[in-house]
Amino acid sequence: MNSKSCWKCKSLIEEFRHFCAECDTIQPPSEENFYKFMRFEKKLGICTATLQNRYYELSRKFHPDYYQNKSSQELTFALKYSSILNRAYFTLKNPIARVRYLMMLEGIHENRDSGSIPVKFAEDIFEIQDCLMEYKSNPESHCEDELQNHHQKLKLDIDEIDQHIHKYFQNYDASENDKEKLDVLNNISLLLTDRNYLDKMKTELDGVL
Ligand SMILES: [Zn+2]
């Protein structure tokens, strides 16, 4: 079903329109889809300036102050919209959160907690683990400097993975069919698995440094 009726004036309303075009009344929120909610195509490259403008525009329209003289139902809708709006905005604004969300929409499972050490970074990770153990048993050891260096390197490695993931955004958006899109997302998924591991490691270092 691509359309429904305005609950107040019964005019037809397209899906994911937040207000009735005829009477401007706020409509019950549709099923959650951040892309449709923000009126963006399901792509990985999005114009963040446009996203921000839409966020501000909708934030104003859903502001509870405007609903003080309206029915409690309308206020409830506005509050629900505000909550969706915030989540949609922060998810789409951050490239990594965005690609995770799109993968979720496409039914691609992200391996968030892979136990296996990423081969490319194995040597560094073993060193960090040794260092961490030593540091924990003897905080006076020289390991702190070494851990600081590893921490710095982890940040750079994560940045590098992010740039790599970013390069795939264009490939995804230029893909001509679902098979191509899926291939790109699967490649991104592998990079995300490495990223998750490094990020976990970095968080662990954050906790001791
Ligand atoms: Zn209406």
pLDDT value of residue 140? 78
Ligand 1 centroid distance, CA of 24 (Å) = 6
The model's pTM is: 0.89
Give the tens place of pLDDT for each residue, 123-159: 999 999 999 998 888 877 778 889 999 999 999 999 9
Ligand 1 centroid distance, CA of 4 (Å) = 11
Q: Please state the separation of Cα 95 from the chain's center in Å.
A: 7
Ligand 1 centroid distance, CA of 13 (Å) = 8
Is the separation of the CB atoms in 8 and 25 below 8 Å?
A: yes
Instruction: State yes or no: pLDDT of 112 exceeds 90.
Output: no
Q: Which residues contact 89 (CB under 8 A, 6 or more apart)?
A: 38, 51, 55
The CATH number, out of the four listed (1.10.287.110, 3.40.50.10800, 3.40.630.30, 1.10.287.610), of the domain defined by the range 3-93: 1.10.287.110
DSSP letter for each residue of 144-179: HHHHHHHHHHHHHHHHHHHHHHHHHHHHHHH--SHH
Phi then psi for 17, rounded to 5 degrees? Answer: -95, 130
